[in-house]
Amino acid sequence: MKAKKKGLQQRWLRNTLSIVLAVVLLCVTALSITVAAYYYSNMQAGMESRARTSTSFFENYIGQTYNEFYRSCAKFAETFEDKDIIELQFVNTSNRVVASSYGQYFSKTAVTSDIAQAIETKQMAVYSGSNPATDERIMAVSSPIIYSNGEVIGVLRYVTSLQRVDMQIVLFSVVIAVVGLFVLLIVYMSGKYYIKTILLPVSEITATAKRIAAGSYGVQISKKFDDEIGALTETINDMSNKIAQSEKMQSEFISSISHELRTPLTAISGWSETLIAGGESMRSADARRGLSIILSESKRLTGMVEEMLEITRLQDGRITLNVKMCDIRAEFEDTIFMYGSRSKQDGIELVYIENDKEIPEIPCAPERIRQVFLNILDNAAKHGGDGKKITAEIDRDDASVIIRIRDFGPGIPEEELPFIKKKFYKGTSKARGSGIGLAVCEEIVSLHDGSLDIENADGGGTLVTVRLPIGQK
């Protein structure tokens, strides 16, 4: 059980949980990248909008002298309202900060790529990365300031730290990672519970299967689920019942056949001893009677041996058919005539119901089909002989020849009908027999692509119906 549990859990962890972990990691990474891109793009758009507006405002001062212009820049920087979160710089073409909202100018050298790009292209440029002076992550937007003669005299530059944004992104990623781990934990716990709901019934099924293999036939497993496990439980229970039933039938068969063999052997042995002991003094009439009994019981033994051989051939698939076109009505009527005299001696009336329908020849093995007829008639006499009457008829429909044989005995208990054609099954009947005959009949009829059905007839008794196809498949 521990090895099985370990194996299933390892496979689940390796397969399902690893896939879920990969999906969670992918989602966390994708969401973090998406949020970072969203924050950075919004920040950049805001700074570009500020730079564009401020540059447009300074177009009013483009006609001033350089000194007046720079004084205007310094004054604008000093009155900049958002200096706590963003720095406004005015940078000349030598990369020198000439005015800053931080109040310090002509004291820094700005060397990020956005300044040179804005001066060179006369277009707004953006830089995102480390500040060369402090290694702090920053975002800068530079907008060129173009003098009235078309000359770029510097850039208006907004600079802000990315530290706060980066912390928000990291915090968001951590929250998403925690949620992902929580989801992973839920999947793990639910998976363990699911594995447990599989392992417990499987272990019970395994233990019961071992008991069945050890000989405890008929044991049952309680069904707890209406799913594949429930279906497996039902299958194991059904198998256990069938094995138990098969064992019971074989035990009954051995008991029955032992009794059947003992009776003729006792008669043969007894009369043989009587004949030997009597010598010449035994009357010829007694001797003939003894020899007649010995002959009859020997034939009985031979018949039982033949049945045993027949069931062996049936199990090995060695029943063969010598198929040819056959007058099935003639075969059936000959069997009825032959068996009728035998049944009359037992006080049973065998009635053949004639009809005017044309019964065609069919492809079959006549000796095997006659064996089927005789076996069914013999069963009717043994088990339904109390009714003192058996009826037999042959009929047809478009596809089949139909043979019906009915007795007027007590019938078969309904619970025994599904098993009546199984090997060795005798049910509650006390009549002599090995329980092999109907199984052999079923096999022979099946080899002819036909069917053999047994049911209780209306009004009492048992009806056996044999259908044989008019043409071979």
For domain 2-167, say whether CATH 3.10.150.10 is its number.
no
pLDDT recorded at residue 2: 47
Q: Is pLDDT at 10 greater than 80 in this prediction?
A: no
Cα gap 262→301, rounded to integer Å: 10
Smallest Cα–Cα separation from 223: which of 211, 208, 213, 243?
Answer: 208
Q: Is pLDDT at 53 greater than 70 in this prediction?
A: yes
- Cα separations in angstroms, 140 against 100, 113, 158, 169, 248: 14, 10, 6, 19, 93
Average pLDDT, the chain: 80
Q: Is pLDDT at 5 greater than 60 in this prediction?
A: no
CATH domain 324-469 topology: Heat Shock Protein 90 (3.30.565)
Between 237 and 165, residue with greater pLDDT: 165
For residue 158 the two structure tokens come to 């907004």
What HEC string does 413-451 produce? CHHHHHHCCCCCCCCCCCCCCCCCHHHHHHHHHHHCCCE
Delimiting residues of CATH 3.30.565.10 domain(s) in the chain: 324-469
Which pLDDT tens digit goes with each residue over 247-270?
Answer: 666 666 665 565 566 666 776 777
Q: Is pLDDT at 363 greater than 90 in this prediction?
A: yes
pLDDT recorded at residue 384: 81
Cα gap 24→90, rounded to integer Å: 47
The top-scoring range by mean pLDDT among 108-112, 167-171, 189-193, 275-279 is 167-171
Cα gap 209→259, rounded to integer Å: 34
Between 189 and 104, residue with greater pLDDT: 189
Contact 159, 130 (CB under 8 A): no
Which pLDDT tens digit goes with each residue over 453-471?
Answer: 999 998 889 999 999 999 7
Q: Work out the average pLDDT over 395-411.
A: 92
Q: Where are the alpha helices (DSSP H) in 122-213?
A: 163-213
Which pLDDT tens digit goes with each residue over 84-107?
Answer: 888 888 888 888 888 888 876 555
Local confidence band at 220 (pLDDT 50, 70, 90 cut-offs): confident
Which pLDDT tens digit goes with each residue over 318-361?
Answer: 667 788 999 999 999 999 998 888 888 888 999 999 988 899 99
Mind giving me the DSSP string for 63-110?
TS-HHHHHHHHHHHHHT-TTTTT-EEEEEETTSBEEEETTS--SS-B-
Q: Is pLDDT at 19 greater than 90 in this prediction?
A: no
Q: Of the given ranges (175-189, 368-382, 419-433), which has the lowest mean pLDDT?
A: 419-433
Delimiting residues of CATH 1.10.287.130 domain(s) in the chain: 228-316
User: Angle, nearest 10°, between helix axes 437-447 and 284-316?
Assistant: 50
Local confidence band at 473 (pLDDT 50, 70, 90 cut-offs): very low
Mind giving me the DSSP string for 341-355?
HHHHHTT-EEEEE--
Delimiting residues of CATH 3.30.450.20 domain(s) in the chain: 2-167
CATH domain 228-316 topology: Helix Hairpins (1.10.287)
Burial class (CB in 10 A: 0-12, 13-18, 19+), 52: middle
